[in-house]
Structures are given as C-alpha cells and as structure tokens.
C-alpha cells in the first residue's frame, strides 16, 4: 500500500509527522499529503492492508474453532478487553494485547485499544452525529469545565467536507440539537421499529425516532461498494462500505506519493527545542529491535487515541516542560470523560409474527436528546442530557431439551418473538479529578512508563442514568410492549469506548492545553485532534467531530506553514 520506511537511515526528515493511523490520524495523513507535505505516519502496531489482511471477513460461525470463542491463551492475552463482551475469534487480532500493554485502574476503567494500521477504525460502531451549539456552549452556560474556543459555525463546513468524502447515510430531522449531515440515503427501519416510532412520536410530541446516522454506504461512493448487510464490520469490510482509515483515507494519502508509513513504531516522546520554542521531531522505539530512532519534521499531529496521545505528551519531558509537553496549565491528563452505557429497557412486541426482515443491518434506531434543550424541557435533577440507541429484532426459538423428532427440528428453524430495546448514552461532565497519570512503577515490555487511570461516573451521570431507565420503561409501556424490564449494568467509564479529554481545547492557556485550532498553546507546531482534545463530551458519538476537527486543523497547519508561522 505505501512506502514503508523501516530503515531509519533512508529518510529522517519530513514535512509532517502523524502519530497514529486511526480515525483522526488517517484523516490527518490524507489532508497533509494531498496538500503536498511529505508525511510520515508512525504506527505502533503492524501493517493491515485493506482486504488482504482481513482473514475472517467471510467466515461463518462453524468455520472457526470454538464457534468464535477464545482459547485460554487468547483470554490471557485479552484479559481486560474481554470484559467488553466484544472480543471473539473473528476479531481478536484487531484488539491490542493487554498483557504486553498493561495499565493500572485506580478505579474500574476499561481501556480498549487497537494497535495496527487503522487502529480502532476497524472496530468502531460507525454511528456519526454532528454536535451543535447546545454542546459547544454547555460548559460556559452551566459552569462545568472551561468554555470551548469554537462554536458550531466554526466546524460546520468541516463536517460537510468530511461527510461528503466519507459517506454518511441517514435522514434529516431539522432539529437544532442534532444538526443534519450531508446524507446518503438512509437505511430502512424494520416493521416493528416503524410501529414503535409511530407510537413514540404520537405519545411524546418532543421525541423523535430515526434510523441511526452511520458511516455506512447505502450506494456506491468514491469507488467503494455499498453495504451488503452482513454485519461483519469488526472483521474488516472487503467492500469498503464502512469508514475505516484502511479503506477510505490512507489510500488517497498514498496515491499522492507523499505518504510513508512506519509500523512497529512506539512513540517514546516528542523532541522540544528550547531555542526554537517548538517541537523538532519524534523519538520512537522500534518494537521489534528495541532501537531508539529520531525523526524530524516541521509539524507533528498527535493522534494516537485519547489516552495514548496524553501518555506521549506526559512522557515528553524537558527543561521547558518538566511535567509533560504543553502542560503549563497543569490540565494535561485531567478531565477524562466517557459516555454512560448499557442502561435502558427492553420488551416483547405482539402482532408481527407473520413478518421478518432481510439481512443483518449493521445499524439501529436513534432517539435524539429531548431533555435540557430549552426552558420547557429543563430538568432540575441534572444538567446536560442523553440520547437512545437500540432496535427491534427476532431471536431464535428456545430449544426444549425434552422435544425430539420432525416437529422439534421444524420448530428450531422458526424465528422467535419480536423484541425491542433502547439503551441510553448520557453525557459525562469534565471533572478535573477524573485523570490519568504516568506510572513509573509499572513499565511495559519496552521499559516505558504505563498509565494509571483514576476516573468514575459521579452524581450527575448517575442521575442521568436513573432518568434514562425511567424514560425507557415509560416509552416502551406507552408503545404497547409486553414483559418490559428496565436495566442498568452500572458500567464504569470506558465501556462506551468514547474516552475524551485529558488534553482539552480552551481559550486560556492557563486552563487548557490546546487552542481553537488544536495547537498546543506553548508549542504551536504540535496539533492534537483525536479524543484527547475534547473539552466536553456531548451525548452523541464523537468520531465525526474528530474527523472534522482534524481536517480543519490540517488546513490551518498548512496555511500557517506557508506564512512561515510554524
């Protein structure tokens, strides 16, 4: 795919260095390469070429050992990841090795990582929603955290820019709290979802239910094939139908001839020059040889994923930055956020037993935020809000072990009853004491300090979750479902896999790490555009915002380079 620069002697100097090749790193590489910059992408893990390195993409459950279950050895390798319930034989090769990459939980926190070219863009859920001024203004209005240095108008054209290239399917609603995207045709709700939608919108005038807005192609787009409704996305899509760096952003970056990808490159630190007052390069450890190598560039984009990015910045110490690069404010490592997860309700649906659906649609429904939108919807129980995801489906008929014969064989082939569920995602506030620190007592296999994570959901998130469950039960009751039960798995942070913050943007260098263009305040040739930069968390999935912020920052970086400001 690319010019893999493994030999450090061949080229040590580039126009730009991008650390990480996931959702934001892939966008940085594309934008910088297309703007003419010779760009080195440093990837911690191995090369994964689109299609070529998707070994399980077409396998059925009976094609794998243990029907997709993990061996004892694989369970040891992923002893933390498996808590999520998402790691199986078909995708375990895309999840990071917990044993080789330890971290410490001062309080329970699940840190899910993907160490390969493409990172977690090979594994994500693809739900893509724009933020609004309700989100960008929230901190300033209710006094939690610091004010965002941007507003919706600053990022709106960049949302459109990345959506047109990536391909986002969905339907428009015209809601101010959930701005519409540039859409491909939406996926279709099934019969039960249409029924539930009609009932919810009739019973609750301020609530809406739509098909999820997703980075899945519903028609061919930019040379990529449309979604085949296989729902095998976390194995790698041979059609390129969902957004991943491997299928979407790295190929055009490579087509420019300006891209070099170096795998097995563990970034040890950024190199800061006191006289020049900027970063001049990146120091890596070759994970296969343990050699330490330095690469140099005019600008650096740090996109290693939220906590890995902050770990790199914290480890980049110098006489100027004794507590980590750009940490004049003392905020580096603080204000860690995630969305609450797996709280809601489910029930059974009568009356549609003669109907079914085709394929395995990799998408569900979405109910946008309806609380604390305006004075009429204001709650005195909590600040911020939540949205719902979920869907309707038919499972299999449970087998009766006492049954036998032809009738039994026929019965197990019939679909079970219709069920419908919704689960909420609530916003987490940016608490200063939700933080990560370097742990010099626990080193990884390359002798580097690991992270200690100390974060929890507090009273506001718990109040939001209580309301989520109450509202979910009420909606399903008024929709006419049967056997309804609410649930709250009381997951700690990390399970939403939407970790954000720890190197936040802000207006004041005294209270933030980055400015309004994602530049480190005190080292403006360093840009951070992954989840680490986030100043608040909204209640919608954040990846589309990472894409837009990255494209915007790359455009600014090249403009500043041309003006000789960097």
State whether 24 and 71 are in the same domain: yes
State whether 381 and 289 are in the same domain: no
What is the C-alpha to C-alpha distance for residues 417 and 398, in angstroms, rounded to an integer?
A: 10
State whether 315 and 440 are in the same domain: yes
pTM of the model: 0.96
State whether 23 and 108 are in the same domain: yes
**Exposed e or buried b for every residue in 536-549, given b needs 16+ CB within 10 A?**
bbbbbbbbbbbbbb
What is the C-alpha to C-alpha distance for residues 265 and 285, in angstroms, rounded to an integer?
A: 6
Judge whether 216 lies within some domain: yes
Confidence band, pLDDT 50/70/90 cuts, at residue 262: very high
What is the C-alpha to C-alpha distance for residues 279 and 281, in angstroms, rounded to an integer?
A: 6
State whether 558 and 416 are in the same domain: no
Residue 178 DSSP symbol: B
Sole residue written with tokens 């036998």: 404
- Alpha-carbon Rg for the chain, nearest whole angstrom, is 24
- CATH number of the domain that residue 97 is part of: 3.50.50.60
Confidence band, pLDDT 50/70/90 cuts, at residue 403: low
The candidate with the shortest Cα–Cα distance to 146, out of 457, 429, 560, is: 429
pLDDT digits (tens, 9 = 90+) for 411-459: 777 888 999 999 999 999 999 999 999 999 999 999 999 999 999 999 9
Please check whether residue 419 is in contact with residue 195, taking contact to mean a CB–CB distance below 8 angstroms.
Answer: no
Which residues have C-beta within 8 Å of that of residue 170, sequence separation ≥ 6? 128, 181, 183, 184, 186, 210, 211, 212, 213, 214
Confidence (pLDDT) at 400: 59
Token code pair at residue 102: 């330890």
Q: Are strands 259-262 and 39-42 parallel, antiparallel or unpaired?
A: parallel
Judge whether 229 lies within some domain: no
Judge whether 144 lies within some domain: no
- Give the chain's domain count: 2
State whether 19 and 120 are in the same domain: yes
State whether 254 and 320 are in the same domain: yes
Mean pLDDT of 241-257: 97
State whether 213 and 347 are in the same domain: yes
What is the C-alpha to C-alpha distance for residues 499 and 531, in angstroms, rounded to an integer?
A: 7
Domain range for 482 is 169-224+340-426+458-488
What is the C-alpha to C-alpha distance for residues 295 and 276, in angstroms, rounded to an integer?
A: 17
Which residues have C-beta within 8 Å of that of residue 89, sequence separation ≥ 6? 56, 64, 65, 66, 68, 69, 70, 74
Q: Are strands 386-396 and 415-426 parallel, antiparallel or unpaired?
A: antiparallel
Please check whether residue 176 is in contact with residue 377, taking contact to mean a CB–CB distance below 8 angstroms.
Answer: no
Q: Quick one: which H or E segment has residue 550? A: helix 543-562
Judge whether 370 lies within some domain: yes
Sole residue written with tokens 């094939």: 225
Token code pair at residue 454: 């100390």
The candidate with the shortest Cα–Cα distance to 236, out of 123, 126, 125, is: 123
pLDDT digits (tens, 9 = 90+) for 286-319: 999 999 999 999 999 999 999 999 999 999 999 9
State whether 361 and 464 are in the same domain: yes
Judge whether 552 lies within some domain: yes
pLDDT digits (tens, 9 = 90+) for 198-228: 999 999 999 999 999 999 999 999 999 999 9
Residue 224 DSSP symbol: B
DSSP 228-271: -S---GGG--TT--B--IIIIIHHHHHHTT-EEEE-SEEEEEEE
Grouping H, G, I as helix, E, B as strand and the rest as coil, residue 376 is helix
State whether 511 and 473 are in the same domain: no
State whether 483 and 380 are in the same domain: yes
State whether 392 and 481 are in the same domain: yes
- Phi, psi values for residue 178, rounded to 5°: -145, 80
């Amino acid at each position: 795919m690319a010019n893999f620069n493994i030999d450090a002697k061949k080229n040590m100097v580039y126009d730009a260095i991008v650390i990480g090749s996931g959702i934001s790193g892939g966008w940085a590489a594309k934008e910088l390469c297309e703007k003419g910059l010779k760009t080195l992408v440093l990837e911690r893990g191995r090369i994964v070429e689109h299609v070529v390195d998707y070994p399980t993409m077409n396998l059925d459950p009976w094609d794998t050992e243990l029907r997709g279950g993990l061996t004892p050895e694989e369970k040891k390798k992923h002893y933390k990841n498996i808590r999520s319930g998402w790691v199986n034989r078909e995708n375990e090769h895309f999840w990071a090795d917990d044993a080789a990459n330890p971290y410490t939980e001062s309080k329970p926190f699940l840190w899910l990582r993907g160490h390969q070219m493409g990172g977690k863009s090979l594994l994500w859920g693809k739900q893509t929603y724009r933020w609004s001024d309700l989100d960008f203004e929230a901190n300033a209005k209710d006094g939690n955290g610091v004010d965002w240095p941007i507003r919706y108008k600053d990022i709106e054209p960049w949302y459109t820019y990345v959506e047109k290239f990536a391909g986002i399917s969905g339907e428009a609603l015209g809601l101010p709290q959930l701005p519409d995207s540039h859409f491909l045709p939406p996926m279709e709700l099934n019969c039960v979802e249409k029924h539930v939608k009609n009932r919810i919108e009739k019973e609750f005038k301020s609530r809406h239910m739509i098909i999820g807005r997703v980075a899945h192609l519903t028609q061919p787009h930019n040379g990529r094939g449309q979604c085949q409704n296989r729902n095998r996305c976390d194995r790698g899509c041979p059609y390129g139908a969902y957004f991943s760096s491997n299928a979407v952003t790295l190929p055009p970056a490579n087509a420019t001839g300006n891209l070099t990808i170096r795998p097995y490159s563990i970034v040890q630190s950024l190199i800061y020059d006191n006289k020049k007052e900027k970063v001049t390069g990146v120091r890596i450890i070759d994970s296969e040889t343990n050699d330490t190598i330095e690469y140099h560039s005019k600008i650096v984009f740090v996109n290693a994923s939220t906590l890995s990015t902050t770990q790199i910045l914290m480890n980049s110490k110098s006489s100027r930055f004794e507590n980590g690069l750009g940490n004049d404010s003392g905020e580096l490592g603080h204000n860690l956020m995630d969305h609450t997860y797996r709280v809601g309700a489910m029930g059974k649906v009568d009356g549609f037993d003669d109907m079914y659906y085709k394929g395995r649609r990799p998408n569900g429904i979405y109910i946008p935020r309806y609380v604390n939108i305006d004075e009429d919807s204001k709650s005195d129980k909590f600040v911020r809000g939540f949205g719902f995801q979920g869907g309707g489906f038919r499972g299999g008929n449970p087998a009766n072990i006492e049954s036998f014969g032809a009738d039994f064989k026929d019965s197990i082939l019939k679909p079970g009853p219709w069920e419908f569920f919704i689960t909420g995602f609530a916003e987490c506030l940016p608490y200063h004491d939700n933080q990560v620190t370097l742990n010099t007592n626990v080193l990884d296999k390359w002798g580097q300090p690991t992270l200690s994570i100390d974060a929890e959901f507090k009273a506001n998130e718990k109040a939001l979750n209580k309301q989520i469950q109450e509202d979910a039960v009420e909606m399903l009751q008024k929709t006419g479902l049967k056997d309804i039960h609410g649930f709250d798995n009381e997951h700690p942070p990390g399970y939403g896999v939407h970790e954000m913050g720890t190197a936040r943007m802000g207006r004041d260098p005294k209270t933030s790490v980055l400015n309004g263009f994602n530049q480190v305040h005190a080292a403006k040739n360093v840009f951070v555009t992954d989840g680490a930069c986030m100043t608040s968390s909204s209640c919608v999935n954040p990846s589309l915002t990472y894409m837009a912020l990255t494209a915007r920052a790359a455009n600014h970086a090249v403009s500043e380079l041309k003006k000789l400001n960097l």
